[in-house]
Amino acid sequence: MFAVYYRPDLRPLAEEFKNRYGAVDLTCRGEISHVFILGGDGTLLEALRRFPCVLDFLVVHLGMGKVNFYRSAEFTISLEEAVERVRRGAYRVLELSTLVHDDCRALNEVSIYRREPGRLLSFRVKTDEGEVVGRADGVIISTPHGSSGYVVSTFGPVVDYRADAMVVSFIAPYTLFLRPLVLMSNQVVVETGEDAILVCDGRETRQGRSFLVRKGEKRLKLAVFDEFQFLRRVMGRLQSL
């Protein structure tokens, strides 16, 4: 069975899709095989936030937004063509890593800031390979494919999506020795000297002074209909930000 999650203004298209193909609105119940995303990357992130079970299904992202890094097709195709390709099995599955912090499931990144805007955050970043202590406006921990999102504003590296790594970067660091890190660690702990908030893919989730961010055990399974041109998508993402 197909399920659909859509941007509000695309509701008429979603209703047509449900009527034509017997699809249902996305829930975490029922026998679902594929989740069709009608919208852009923001719609996909919202679906994952509201329904973590998205990671249990195969995702077909139609790329109908401003930012469409995770789209299933390299070039725009119709909903009808996407369904036909799915039914024929004319796709491959791309698995993309996630980050986990409590109830947060991040596809791009988690960010940690001081609660009071404009104040430096004192922190200690602890990994399997040691620790880094410093002060900055904030700390970002991203997936490899998420490194071409928010991380680029910190002059961090764009990391190949196939790397089994976590990317740690610092927002406006107070001292120049703080540089972005690409780590093979399975988890990162950020301890702060002041009350801080954690933002999960753009949404605030919790406050505290200690945050454990792990590589997620589940990955996003994205149906890809043709070549996944990583650098082409990175350039498109950067130009749309």
Residue 16 corresponds to which tokens in the numbers above?
Answer: 């047509």
56 is catalytic: no
Please state at what angle helix 79-88 crosses helix 11-21, rounded to 10 degrees: 40
Q: Annotated catalytic residue: which of 41, 164, 195, 226?
A: 41
> Is the four-CA dihedral 183, 238, 201, 105 of positive or negative sign?
negative
- 3-class secondary structure for the chain? CEEEEECHHHHHHHHHHHHHHCCEECCCCCCCCEEEEECCHHHHHHHHHHCHHHHHCEEEECCCCCCCCCCCCCCCCCHHHHHHHHHHCCCEEEEECCEEECCEEECCEEEEEECCCCCCEEEEEEECCEEEEEEECEEEEECCHHHHCHHHHHCCCCCCCCCCCEEEEEECCCCCCCCCEEECCCEEEEEEEEEEEEEECCEEEEEEEEEEEEECCCCEEEEECCCCCHHHHHHHHHHHC
Can you tell me the distance from the alpha carbon of 142 to that of 159, in angstroms, rounded to the nearest whole number?
10
Please, are residues 29 and 8 in contact by the beta-carbon 8 Å criterion? Answer: no
Catalytic residues: 41
